[in-house]
Structure 1
Amino acid sequence: MTSGIIITPGLPDRALAANAKRERVSEAYLVRIRAVAAIAGVMLAFALVAGQLVRLAILGQGEVSVSMSQPMAIAFARPDIVDRNGQLLASDLIMPSLFADPALVVDKDELAEKLGHVLPGLNQAELRKSLADRDKRFVWIRRGTSTRQAEAIHNLGLPGIEFRNELKRAYPSGTLAGHVLGYVDIDNKGIAGIERFLDENGQVDPVHTPNLSNRPPVQLSLDIGVQHAVEEELAAAMATYEARAAVGLVMDAKSGEILAAASLPGVDPLVPSLERETMDRLSGGTFELGSIFKMFTVAMAMDSGEFTLDTPVDVRKPLSVGGFTITDSHPIGRILSVAEVFRRSSNVGAGMLALDLGAGRQKEFFQRIGLTGAMKTEAGSVADVQLPERWEAVETVTRSYGHGIAVTPLQFAAAAASLVNGGKRIQPTYLRRPTGSESDGERVISEETSRKFNALMRSNVTERDGTGRRANVPGLEVGGKTGTAELPGKGGYKEKSVISSFFAAFPMSNPKYVTLVSLFEPQPIKKTSMQITAGRNAAPVTAKIIARIAPQLDVMSRSETP
């Protein structure tokens, strides 16, 4: 018997072929039916699931919950920041950060207690509260631990905690130039100072993994050696003169590059501070700076062509204007020359020069040298100048000697530099400029006036009647101007609370650098014969700074002819 095929005797071949074809068509039909049924079944299942999800969403089923891990924060890879000589000021490091999975933590109290012994400042109560919610699968414990701390934590063997490497900013010089460098936030994003400048100018890269930046270093104009000298001398001055705060600046007179910028008390870039005492007084606060403003008054008078250094000014009597009487703290009792008005820092003489030139010319001159407009540097915006609305006779007199106008020390220094650098306005910068760069700013006084003014600045340090005698550094041709301004208070100015300042330039035969030192509320001490004037404190501090930084700046001392 043969299986599988049935042969009918006598059936023609053509009938056999037709029968086979019908059988194949029937089988194909059955396969299609099964496929369609399977697809329909799958689609129905998906429809049922979708319908159930919609029903639950509409009903707001409370028991349905989805537990998701907190996404890891996106960090920012930042380029190194270096000083003008390539010395490292800021850099990224890869550091371990500690997190926990509350669902895997066995004993939250034990974990918090043991971690508290390793991580200073850890808020154990807050950590216990965060770990109590076991639906969470991710809780940060400490961002940026040291390798020593990470090793100690690893050795505790606590379940539910792990590490993730992250980018963290490091500042090798600690608090040095802290106000200038600024801060970054927990995700390495710049929020102040040069760090913020980098973000605003597209010099940082968002990253999901701790990859160091491959961008070239950002080179600043700061000189770390000069910065250190300025900060050290300011700190010593605060201690010596019992001052509440101090400001110091060193700037290239012709390019505007800032080589040192300090405001003490300083700040730590790793610990952002909003305390008033640590504010940046160099560019973040405005102050009436007093008699150093006589620089502008005398330079304006000289450049007008109406006065020379020998022009007599009668200061024998107080100056009365607008119902106010202007006097000198130490009246001379005789007629002074313009040069003597400057050296003896006569308020009456400066007021008379300003009145003679007029309010309009004074206002235009202040605008031209950059004393009244807005200023901004790479480290951020500079506080706006404070000016009363009126600019009449009384205001013209008071502004001639630095009252009635409040500016930042940085803005003052930039304007004053234009008087000694040959007469051109400069824009301060914290970025390194090509060697030999000079200001292409507006001319504010003639080269001839600048040359004569420099000689006057030098005489204020060398002549016996000069208020800046204690700023002299043998062989370095220092010139400058003092300013002692009473601080405003309730009911008027506080006679015994002052800002004492000294603006200097060197060498005066061809000024390369300018400096500014301001001491806030220095106290009367025996060393200063109980005086708080700038000639007694800010001037000698300036001398110490210049003596230290001149060799670093290749400004060598030389013998001078008496």
Structure 2
Amino acid sequence: MALFFMAIGAQLVRLALAGLTDSSISLSETVAQSYARPDIVDRNGRLLATDVVAYSLFADPARVLDRDEVIEKLAVVFPDLDRNALRRDLSDRDRRFVWVRRGLPPRTAQAVHDLGLPGLDFRRELRRAYPGGNLAGHVLGYVNIDNKGVSGIERYVDDIVGVEAVQSATRAERPPVRLSLDIGVQHAVEAELADAVKRYEAQGAAGIVLDVDTGEIVASASLPEVDPARPNMDSARADKISGSTFELGSVFKTLTVAMAIDQALATPETIVDVRKELKSGGFTIKDLHPLRRPLTVAEIFLHSSNVGAAMLALQAGPDRFQAFLRHMQLTDAIKTEAGNVSPPQLPPRWGETETITASYGHGIALAPLQFAAAASAVVNGGRKVTPTYIKRPFDSGVADIPLMSAATSQKMRDLMRRNVAEPAGTGKRADVPGYQVGGKTGTAEMPGVGGYREKAVISSFLAAFPMDKPRYLVFVMLFEPTANKETGGEVLASRNAAPTTARVISRIGPLLGILPTQAALSGNSGLAFDAASPAKYEAR
């Protein structure tokens, strides 16, 4: 017996000194690492994204008794199962771990469990869940199979906030990431845009609500929508707010007129002779509904005169006009927490023709978010706005960088309000009693093969409210709307984008804590905005 135990001891010592052999290494295989992520909530703490526990199915090829049986029975539960790939993986008996399907819902996991197949087992992992479904899908982005952020705010969480590498279903202990979005406002904007797509038979729509003081993005919607839990890379579902650029049309005249006023080239009362069409580079520039008389700068804005806007830009000259756009942060790429914004598409050279076309929003393509940020400075007193998807603390200071004078901003606010309040304004259908809406229409022909497509347009409306002291900017865009009975057989923004904006503002105003003035509700909308009214007691 003593000799027997001595032999066993000697063998153990020999094996210990020899270490692990190559054959023993194949008995263990590293399990994929996952990541625990903090929750994402809206500005009011309502949940937008969170981690949940899900079951992931794996196989141990060495324990599988009948490969064909396993494959056939699993194919009943998973009709899209790649049988050849699974058969190849299960044939390798040296492997001890093979993923079959990850992130299973409880009902599917139970169905696999009931099969009673040897060699199959489950591992509990964290999976990202979005309680709002498709709500704000473009902004949130998505994660990969290992719960790692790939795009949008989810990518921002990985890069800036931080995630925790885990080997099991262990939730992160980090505080939630609070966005500037408001779920209620986001839902209202998406619902109204979806209604507009049906109402005007459009191919898509987009809308943004921006706090003109802080730069906080309260809502950002793009249709067709995406599901962050099931990302779709179809180009038709690309984010139209920050992931694409467009020639925006006459809404750009807001900046052209602001430039002329701010650089003392004109005042709202300056008269410009717009009776003759302009010719440049073989092109003829004319007004859609010419009045055949000289117009004041204010009338150029109210009647959306292409000739008038072009003459104001020509008065400034190509270099000066381009310098103004650069000063307004429109010539360089910007980025937000959700990722890079599509860079501006600028003319390769700035001559007379490019200056003319850019004055009314053609020949220059911008991401709507970048344009909205510049337009915020037009109504907020002339201060630069940096758009953000992250909720700013109440005590955080916003850089006071002037882009234009406060006097210019005041004059532009007056013009924008007149464009909605006066019968002659192109934006009259955007008026909402009690909210003092101001804005500008834009109908831009979309480029196609061989030139612009006359009937394919982007109809947009740029609005701000309340115009005595604007708090929010709303930018609505409809892509390729159809002329129908409701629009009087036209595709103009005054007929579709403007009323859509009115419906959006009437719906989100109370959600933002802005109440309509009693004077307007009683029918006396011509009275000045009451600074002491409840509309001033609004939630940030």
Same fold (TM over 0.5): yes
Q: What does residue range 279-294 of structure 1 map to in structure 2 within 5 Å?
A: 279-294=238-253
Q: What does residue range 400-549 of structure 1 map to in structure 2 within 5 Å?
A: 400-435=359-394, 439-549=398-508
Look up the match of 1:388: 347
Look up the match of 1:307: 266
CA distance in 2, matches of 1:469, 1:151: 59
1:372 to 305, 328, 331: 331
- Report the count of equivalent residues: 512
Contact 2:443 2:460 in 1 (8 A): yes
Matched, 1:278 2:203: no
Q: What does residue range 156-171 of structure 1 map to in structure 2 within 5 Å?
A: 156-171=115-130
Look up the match of 2:72: 113
Cα distance per residue 1:478-499 (max 9 Å; x no partner): 1110111111111111111111
1:347 to 306, 318, 331: 306
Matched, 1:207 2:159: no
CA distance in 2, matches of 1:248, 1:47: 69
CA RMSD of aligned residues (A): 2.2
CA distance in 1, matches of 2:185, 2:325: 30
Counterpart amino acid of 2:247? E
- Closer, same or farther in 2 for the Cα pair 1:112/1:441, shift >3 Å? farther
Contact 1:254 1:437 in 2 (8 A): no
| Deviation of 1:270 (Å) | 1.2
Secondary structure of the residue aligned to 2:374 is helix
Matched, 1:257 2:216: yes
CA distance in 2, matches of 1:112, 1:202: 42
Contact 1:190 1:196 in 2 (8 A): yes
Cα distance per residue 1:394-431 (max 9 Å; x no partner): 11111110011100011011110110011011100000
2:295 to 311, 327, 336: 336
Cα distance per residue 1:182-225 (max 9 Å; x no partner): 11111111010001011111421112222100000010000000
- Closer, same or farther in 2 for the Cα pair 1:240/1:451, shift >3 Å? same
Contact 2:265 2:315 in 1 (8 A): no
Contact 1:257 1:428 in 2 (8 A): yes
| Deviation of 1:291 (Å) | 0.5
Contact 1:84 1:432 in 2 (8 A): yes
- Closer, same or farther in 2 for the Cα pair 1:436/1:237, shift >3 Å? farther
| Deviation of 1:337 (Å) | 0.8
Counterpart amino acid of 1:291? S
CA distance in 2, matches of 1:110, 1:48: 43
CA distance in 1, matches of 2:215, 2:221: 16
Secondary structure of the residue aligned to 2:323 is helix
Structure 1, unaligned runs of 5 or more = 1-37, 58-63
Secondary structure of the residue aligned to 2:511 is coil
Contact 1:263 1:280 in 2 (8 A): yes
Secondary structure of the residue aligned to 2:458 is strand
Q: Based on CA coordinates, which of the two structures has the bigger radius of gyration?
A: 1
Secondary structure of the residue aligned to 1:165 is strand
Cα distance per residue 1:301-337 (max 9 Å; x no partner): 1112231111111111101234432111111111111
Residues 317-326 or 229-238, more deviating: 317-326
Contact 1:255 1:437 in 2 (8 A): no
- Closer, same or farther in 2 for the Cα pair 1:512/1:427, shift >3 Å? same
Secondary structure of the residue aligned to 2:104 is coil
Q: What does residue range 157-196 of structure 1 map to in structure 2 within 5 Å?
A: 157-196=116-155
Contact 2:31 2:97 in 1 (8 A): no
Matched, 1:94 2:58: no
1:363 to 304, 322, 331: 322
Q: Which runs of 4+ in 1 moved over 4 A?
A: 44-50
Matched, 1:80 2:39: yes
Look up the match of 2:99: 140
CA distance in 2, matches of 1:283, 1:312: 38
CA distance in 1, matches of 2:319, 2:431: 36
Contact 2:67 2:90 in 1 (8 A): yes
Look up the match of 1:19: none
CA distance in 1, matches of 2:485, 2:42: 40
Counterpart amino acid of 2:29? Q
Q: TM-score, normalised by structure 1?
A: 0.87
Structure 2, unaligned runs of 5 or more = 1-6, 527-540
- Closer, same or farther in 2 for the Cα pair 1:152/1:391, shift >3 Å? same
Contact 2:211 2:473 in 1 (8 A): yes
Contact 1:425 1:439 in 2 (8 A): no
Cα distance per residue 1:108-166 (max 9 Å; x no partner): 23323322333464334433333233332211111111122222222221111001111
Contact 2:383 2:401 in 1 (8 A): yes
